Structure 1
Amino acid sequence: MEKKLPTIKEIAKRLNISISTVSRALHDHHSIGLRTKLAVKKLAAELNYEPNQTAIFFKQRKTFTIGVILPNLREEFFSSAINGIEKTALDNNYIVLTSQSHDDLEREKNIVESMKKHRVDGILASISKNTTRIDHFEQLKNYDIPVVFFDRVPDVPDVHSVSCNLYHSSVEAVDFLVKKGHKRIAYIQGPSTLNIKNERLNGYYDALAKNSIKADDALVVSTDLSTDGNTGALDKLLALKKRPTAVILFNDYVALDVIHHARQRKLAINKDISFVSYANIPFMHYLETPPVASVEQFPYEQGARATELLFKLLDPNAKQGLPPYENIVLKSELIIH
C-alpha cells in the first residue's frame, strides 16, 4: 500500500493539541510557547512532515511562480536576460517557469494560456516577431495576472515595459561611421512587426540628416531574421549600382550570417565593407573580423529591472505608488571593437 504522508492533523492528535496550535508552532508564531514549539517541530521532523504547498498556495492565493515568455533561449541575449530574471526572482523566493515562442505567434498564445491555467502570479514577456496584437496578454487582466514586457515591447501605450533606448544608439552608430569616412551607410532592419525596428530606423534617418547626408531608401532593406533573409538582404544592397561601404545590422545574429556571406562574396570585412550591429554578444569578440562596433543593450539589467517591476505589481502596497503604466528605458551604449 502507498504510504500516507504525515499531516498537521496527525501531529496535533499525537500531541493532544489543536491543529491551529501546530500550524502556529511550525511558523514560530509569538503566541505559542517555546516548549510547544520544540515538541511540534521535533515530532514533525520524526514523521518527515512537509507542508502541503497546494494548501498554502490556496490560502495565500499565490503560487510563488512567475512565467517568462521569450523568442529563443539559443540567443545569448535572452540567456543573459534569464540570468537577471532568475537572480531577482530567487532573491524574492520565487521560481521561474520559462517557455520559448520560437517567434511563432500561435505558440506564444498557447504558452500564455498554459501559464494562465497553471496560475503563475505574473508574466514577463518578450514578444515574437509576428506579434502585432496582444489580446492574449490583455485577457490576463481578468485573472489579476500582471504582465511586464521587456526588450521586444509591443507598440501600444497601456503596458508595463523595460527596454533600451535604441534611437540614441542608432544616432551614435551613424555618427561613428561618418567619422570613419563612410557616406553610403545602409541599414538592414528586422521584421516590420517589431516596434523596436522603428526606433532604430528613426535614429538612422535622423543621424543621416544631422550629418548632412541625403537619405536613400534603397539603402534600407528588411530581413525576417532567418539565414536566407539575412543573406538576401545583403545581396540586395550589393546589387545596387552604388554599393554601401558600411551597413548597420539589426543584431549580432544577423551580423554572423551577413559577415559569412560577405566573405563568400569575396569582400574584405572592414575594408571593402564595414558593419555595426546590436546586442554586443560576448562571443562576437572571438570572431577574426567582428563588426567594427556593436550596441550594448544590457540584457541582464533589462531582465532584472523587469522582474523588479513585476514584483512591485504583485505587492499591493508598492503597486499603489506606481503610475498606471510604467515604462523603464535604459540607455544603450555603442561599444567600439
Structure 2
Amino acid sequence: MMSDKPTTIKEIAKILKISVSTVSRALNDHSSIGLTTKMRVKKLASELNYEPNQKAIQFLHGKSFIIGVILPELSESFFSTAISGIEDIAYKRNYTVLLAQSHDDAEREKLLVEKMKTQRVDGLLVSVSKTTSTYEHFEIFKRLNIPVVFFDRIPPIKDIHYVASNLETGTYEAVNFLLKKGHRTIGMINGPNTLVASHERKEGYIKAMLSNRLKFDPTLIINSDLTEAGTIEVMDNMLNHRRKPTAIVTFNDYVALFAIRYTRSINLNGIDFVSYANLPIINYMDYTPIASVEQFPYKQGKKAADILIDLINKPKTESGADQAFFNVVVESVLVVNETK
C-alpha cells in the first residue's frame, strides 16, 4: 500500500544505498555526479512521485522565488497588459508572481505592503495609487534590504528604482498636434496632484504652448479624481469657461471615454479629444479620441520585472550613497487615429 506521505530524498538515498547529498546533487544536475547516478536517481524519483520540498529549497537559497506586485486596478487594460509583461519575465526567470490590487486606495496599499512582507516576497513591484501622498510604508522593505521597483505611477521621492513613460514629451507632442490642427484654446483634464504623471502632463502642455508663442492659461488645466463623476464635473467647468476649449487633452483613455460620452449626451459636437495609453478600448468607442499617447505598458512591465529580479540576485554589498538606482524612461509616442 502506497504511503500518503510525500517521498523524501532520504528514502531515495536509502533505496539506492547512496548518500542524501548525492541524491540532492543528482536531482539538481550537479557536475560532480556521474550521468549513470543522475539517471538512476531521477528514474526512482519519478517512480515514487517525488516532489521537491519548496520550503527546504527556499531555506537553502535564502529566497522564496516570489515577487510581489501591487497595482491600482487589474480591470484597467493598461495594468492587465503590464502584468502580462511582468509574468512573462517572471516565468522566464523561474519566479512566481503574487498579485494584489490597491483599488486606488492609499490605506489598502499600505496594508498590502505589510502583507507582502509577511509573505516573504523577494522583491516588490508597485504602481502607486492615485490617493497615495506619503510613502513611509515602503521603508520597511528598504530596512530589510528587499528591493522595490516602481513602474508607471512612481512616487515623487529620491533614491528609488523605477520604470516610467516620458509623459512630458508625449504631452508636448499631443498639444503640438492639436495646435497644428488649428486649435488655440486647449483644455486639459489632468489627474490628482499626488501623481508625478499629472505634473509631467502639465509641464508638457506648458512647454508646447510657450514654444508656439502662445500664452499659457492655467485655468484651462483642471485636476480630476479620474472617475466618471469627476470627469463630468470638470467638463461642466470647461464648457462654462470664458474661453471654452475647442480641444481637450484627457488624463487617459477612460477619462476620454467619460468626457466624450458626456458631450454626446448633451448633444455637443465639435470638440477634439486627445488621450493617453492608446488602449484597445478606444477601438470599440463610437466616437474616439483623434489621437492617444502610447505608453507601452507591456514593455514597462517587462523592464520593471527584469530590473527587480536582477536586484534580487545581486550580491548585497552596496548600501546608502554607494547604491546605484535604476531610472528607466520609456519614450511615449503619439498615435493618431487615422479614421478621424
> Hey, what's the Cα distance between the residues in 1 that align with 2:219 and 2:39?
78
> Hey, what's the Cα distance between the residues in 2 that align with 1:210 and 1:319?
47
Equivalent residue number for residue 27 of structure 1: 28
Q: Once the 2 structures are TM-superposed, how far is the Cα of residue 319 of structure 1 from its aligned partner? A: 8.7
Q: Which amino acid in the other structure matches residue 78 of structure 2? A: F
> Hey, what's the Cα distance between the residues in 1 that align with 2:139 and 2:257?
36
Q: How does 1:31-46 map to 2 (within 5 A)?
A: 31-46=32-47
> Hey, what's the Cα distance between the residues in 1 that align with 2:124 and 2:142?
11
Equivalent residue number for residue 59 of structure 1: 60
> Hey, what's the Cα distance between the residues in 2 that align with 1:328 and 1:262?
38
Equivalent residue number for residue 310 of structure 1: 308
Equivalent residue number for residue 329 of structure 1: 329
> Hey, what's the Cα distance between the residues in 1 that align with 2:152 and 2:38?
49
Q: Secondary structure at the match of 1:42?
A: helix
TM-score normalised by structure 1 residue count: 0.95
Question: What do the CA deviations read for 1:27-63 (whole angstroms, capped 9, x no partner)?
Answer: 2223223333333222222211111111000110111
* 8 Å contact kept, 2:85–2:299: yes
Q: Which amino acid in the other structure matches residue 283 of structure 1? A: I
> Hey, what's the Cα distance between the residues in 2 that align with 1:31 and 1:176?
65
Q: Once the 2 structures are TM-superposed, how far is the Cα of residue 323 of structure 1 from its aligned partner? A: 5.9
Q: Which amino acid in the other structure matches residue 87 of structure 1? A: D
Equivalent residue number for residue 148 of structure 1: 149
Equivalent residue number for residue 184 of structure 1: 185
Q: Structure 1 residues 319, 289: CA separation in 2 closer, same or farther (over 3 Å shift)?
A: farther
> Hey, what's the Cα distance between the residues in 1 that align with 2:266 and 2:156?
37
TM-score normalised by structure 2 residue count: 0.94
* 8 Å contact kept, 1:295–1:333: yes
> Hey, what's the Cα distance between the residues in 2 that align with 1:107 and 1:213?
43
Q: Which amino acid in the other structure matches residue 324 of structure 2? A: P
Q: Secondary structure at the match of 1:212?
A: coil
Q: Once the 2 structures are TM-superposed, how far is the Cα of residue 255 of structure 1 from its aligned partner? A: 0.6
**2:282 equivalent to 1:281:** no
Equivalent residue number for residue 118 of structure 1: 119
Q: Structure 1 residues 35, 218: CA separation in 2 closer, same or farther (over 3 Å shift)?
A: closer
Equivalent residue number for residue 94 of structure 1: 95
> Hey, what's the Cα distance between the residues in 1 that align with 2:77 and 2:143?
34
Q: Once the 2 structures are TM-superposed, how far is the Cα of residue 175 of structure 1 from its aligned partner? A: 0.9
Unaligned ranges ≥5, structure 2: none
Question: What do the CA deviations read for 1:59-101 (whole angstroms, capped 9, x no partner)?
Answer: 1011111111100011100011011111111111111111110
Question: What do the CA deviations read for 1:215-259 (whole angstroms, capped 9, x no partner)?
Answer: 222211111011110111101001113311111111101011110
**2:171 equivalent to 1:170:** yes
Query: CA-atom RMSD, angstroms?
Result: 1.8
Percentage of identical aligned residues: 53
Equivalent residue number for residue 297 of structure 1: 295
Q: Once the 2 structures are TM-superposed, how far is the Cα of residue 311 of structure 1 from its aligned partner? A: 1.7
Q: Once the 2 structures are TM-superposed, how far is the Cα of residue 13 of structure 1 from its aligned partner? A: 1.8
Q: Secondary structure at the match of 2:156?
A: coil
Equivalent residue number for residue 80 of structure 1: 81
* 8 Å contact kept, 2:253–2:281: no
* 8 Å contact kept, 2:26–2:37: yes
Equivalent residue number for residue 138 of structure 2: 137
Q: Secondary structure at the match of 2:286?
A: coil
Aligned residues: 333
Q: Which amino acid in the other structure matches residue 329 of structure 2? A: V
**2:208 equivalent to 1:207:** yes
Equivalent residue number for residue 265 of structure 2: 264
Q: Secondary structure at the match of 1:266?
A: coil
> Hey, what's the Cα distance between the residues in 1 that align with 2:178 and 2:101?
36
Unaligned ranges ≥5, structure 1: none
* 8 Å contact kept, 1:313–1:319: no
Q: Which amino acid in the other structure matches residue 295 of structure 1? A: V
Equivalent residue number for residue 13 of structure 2: 12
